[in-house]
Amino acid sequence: MADRKFSPAILPVLFGFFIMGFCDIVGITSDYVQKTFAWSDSMTGFVPSLVFIWFLFLGIPVGNCMNRWGRKNTVLLSLGITIVGMFLPMIVYNSVTCMLAYVMLGIGNAILQVSLNPLLSNVVTDSRLLTSSLTVGQVVKALSSLAGPEIVMLAIGWFGDDRWYWCFPILGMMTLVSALWLGFTPIRHEPVQTQRQSVSDTFALLKDRKILLLFLGIFFVVGVDVGVNYISSKLMAGRFAWTAQQVKFAPQVYFLCRTAGALLGAFLLTKIAASRYFRVNILACAASMLVLLFVPDDTVAIVAIGCVGFFASSVFSIIYSFALQEKPEKANDISGMMITAVAGGAVIPPLMGFAIGKTGITGGLVVILLCVVYLAFLSFNLKEAREA
């Protein structure tokens, strides 16, 4: 039917969001990399950067190239790069191939995030449902993030502690399934633009105050997400002496609560104004961070970690959809710009690692809290930013 709001093609597209969540294994696997190669806290803090720095360099160029390649083809390219990266440590296992695996995971993920979000708009034709649909995508991504530690522990259970890296080919096989499913699924094509657009033309979008505020919002919300994933296990081990088996539950609690929050958000965002929902949730997130900072109890801490995930779960989707709706005629370019801001996931953890090295876990938590403070500021200016 011509007026159908959803296409069956939404299923392989949503499965692509599951692949998108693979980058979050960087949190738990960084602990094993540190133990295997005897890296310092500061050095380990750069492990997430190997994944997320590529959003800074690739977001805008890929967004521009996507105008010519098409969204589906760009998604398939990202999946291919991820597949190659996930099998590298199986050929030779050392610190270099592990770094390359993270790098290729990051490159593939950067291209995937630039192209998959706009591709969703090809199969969801009702613009009113775009924010909710993007949130559903984040639910699927959160489920992947939740499964990540289990996949790592599954690899360890099968092959031993020293072969934790067998989680990579497991993820690679899932990515191959995603590529084949999407490749054989017909999707409505968007018009291909033959006119080339420069990187400077895309950066010029930041002259628009609305886009700039939203760009920084993406930067800091990803910083919060990656930062909590990175620090949660270290917090429970360092402050409360949890064992290696126990600390895996910290990121899992975070991702489980983020999944629940995103599920609730997908429903409520069809009923409640997105700006109001953003404001209430980010204030609750800030309160949760303060509890995490000042209440020295492991049960309270693990609950607070879950609350941060729950209340921040829909923020990315809200900010991203607001940006797309500001200039829908430049959706590909806006997507590239916003995904460039995902580099916040590469910038914030090293700052946290430095702060932890100087002042302990509390310093890392303060870095995350400052990110949440900006998001609270944005939440009270979001309506103004869209209407100014």
- For 50-62, what is each residue's pLDDT tens digit? 887 887 788 888 8
Residue 160 burial (10 A CB sphere; 0-12, 13-18, 19+): exposed
- The single residue listed with the structure tokens 């069809």 is 270
- What is the predicted pLDDT for the residue at 195? 56
Which is more confidently placed, 29 or 180? 180
Ranked by mean pLDDT, the top range of 40-44, 142-146, 287-291, 357-361 is 287-291
Compute CA distances 128 → 93, 102, 210, 256, 280, whole Å: 48, 36, 20, 27, 21
- What is the pTM (predicted TM-score) of this model? 0.74
- What is the predicted pLDDT for the residue at 327? 75
Q: Is residue 4 part of a domain?
A: no
Q: How many domains does the chain have?
A: 1
| Residue 140 contacts residue 242 (beta carbons within 8 Å) | no
Which of 145, 123, 128, 120 is closest to 345 using CA atoms?
145
| Residue 309 contacts residue 255 (beta carbons within 8 Å) | yes
- What is the predicted pLDDT for the residue at 370? 96
Q: Is the pLDDT of residue 359 over 80?
A: yes
Pure H helices in 21-129:
26-37, 41-44, 47-69, 71-91, 95-123
Ranked by mean pLDDT, the top range of 72-76, 252-256, 325-329 is 72-76
- What is the predicted pLDDT for the residue at 385? 43
243-283 per-position pLDDT tens digit: 877 887 888 888 889 888 988 987 887 788 888 999 999 99
| Residue 352 contacts residue 364 (beta carbons within 8 Å) | yes
Compute CA distances 223 → 119, 152, 226, whole Å: 24, 23, 5
Which is more confidently placed, 36 or 73? 73
111-122 per-position pLDDT tens digit: 998 888 888 877
Q: Is residue 193 part of a domain?
A: no
What range does the domain containing 95 cover? 10-184+198-387
| Residue 277 contacts residue 265 (beta carbons within 8 Å) | yes
* Kind and range of the H or E run holding 126: none
Stated length of the chain: 388
Ranked by mean pLDDT, the top range of 21-35, 158-172, 238-252, 298-312 is 298-312
Q: Is residue 1 part of a domain?
A: no
Alpha carbon distance 159, 164 (integer Å): 7
Which is more confidently placed, 388 or 304? 304
- What is the predicted pLDDT for the residue at 315? 92
CATH code, 349: 1.20.1250.20
Which of 286, 310, 313 is closest to 374 using CA atoms?
286
Query: What is the CB neighbour count within 10 angstroms for residue 157?
Result: 10
Q: Is residue 39 part of a domain?
A: yes
Average pLDDT in the 275-303 region?
94
Q: Is the pLDDT of residue 127 over 60?
A: no
Q: Is residue 191 part of a domain?
A: no
Q: Is residue 190 part of a domain?
A: no
Q: Is residue 333 part of a domain?
A: yes
